[in-house]
A = this chain, B = another copy of it.
Amino acid sequence: MGRVSDAKKRLMDAILELIWSGSYGTTTIDHICEKAGVKKGSFYYFFDSKSDLAAEALEAGWKSKQEELDRIFSPMVPPLDRIRKYCGFSYKTQQEMKEKFGHVLGCPQFALGAEVSTQEDRLQKIIQEILDCKRKYLESAIRDAHATGLIKAPDPGAKARMILAYYEGLLTQARIQNDVEVLRETVGGIFALLGVKEAEAAIA
């Protein structure tokens, strides 16, 4: 009972977009409210602070992202194809962002993590968890690829960590250089890290 509203959702969408296209530090509560079309009174009705909103938005955003990842990393798909699909998906996303915002935006969690990890404990923890999830997607693909004999990776967790670092590094470079073409080499680099034989890698 009582009134209903999607203001909370609008606020969460707004902060994510502002952080991603700009940064956490320069995103103010006033900006968020303006973008969401919500008055400050309502903001404080739903949230205690900017970091509180950011935390909730981050978690919600990740939940919906996970659905896509579950599809891409489906165990039904051959393990190396999962990685190929993931890279392709990532490239397409960055391209779309560049068209929409005029700028390559990279990985929202990684960029935010780099910015706030020394300052915002709660956000740092959430981001760590999200990145760990990402790693697990990679890890299971690597484990499957190892089991199938496609690659030699006795420690899939370690390999996944390496690949994640490379992947996130590339995305960040693409953001810094504002150039999607940086991402062209993504698959090649990952396969090199995995020690995929050139013959296998060629089956694009």
Does chain B have a CB within 8 A of A128?
A: yes
**A94 — which chain B residues lie within 8 A by C-beta?**
none
* Contact indicator B166/A162 (Cβ below 8 Å): yes
Given contacts A22-B118, A114-B111, A115-B25, contact A189 B173 (CB under 8 A): no
List the B residue with the shortest CB-CB distance to A193: B192
Tell yes or no: A80 within 8 A of B by CB.
Answer: no
Let me know if B169 and A185 touch, CB within 8 A.
no
Would you call A128 and B177 a contact (CB within 8 A)?
yes
| Contacts A161-B185, A164-B173, A195-B192 given; does A115 touch B118 at CB 8 Å | no
Q: How large is the interface on A (under 10, 10 to 19, 20 to 34, 35 or more residues)?
A: 35 or more
Taking the closest CB of chain B, its distance from the CB of A85, in whole angstroms, is 20
Neighbour of A165 across the interface among B105, B118, B170, B195, CB < 8 A = B170
A118 B131 Cβ-Cβ under 8 A: no
A189 touches B193 (CB 8 A): yes
Is the Cβ of B176 less than 8 Å from the Cβ of A127? Answer: yes
Q: Is the CB of B172 within 8 A of A110?
A: yes
A103–B115 CB distance below 8 A: no
Assess whether A73 is interfacial by the CB under 8 Å rule. no
Chain B residues with CB under 8 Å of A176's CB are 110, 113-114, 117, 124, 127-128, 131
24 contacts between A and B (CB under 8 A): A21-B118, A22-B119, A23-B23, A23-B24, A23-B25, A23-B116, A25-B26, A113-B172, A114-B176, A117-B176, A117-B178, A158-B185, A161-B182, A161-B185, A162-B188, A164-B173, A165-B169, A165-B189, A166-B166, A168-B173, A169-B170, A189-B193, A192-B193, A193-B193
Residues of A within 8 A of B (CB): 21-26, 101, 103, 105-106, 110-111, 113-119, 124, 127-128, 131, 158, 161-162, 164-170, 172-173, 175-178, 182, 185, 188-189, 192-193, 195
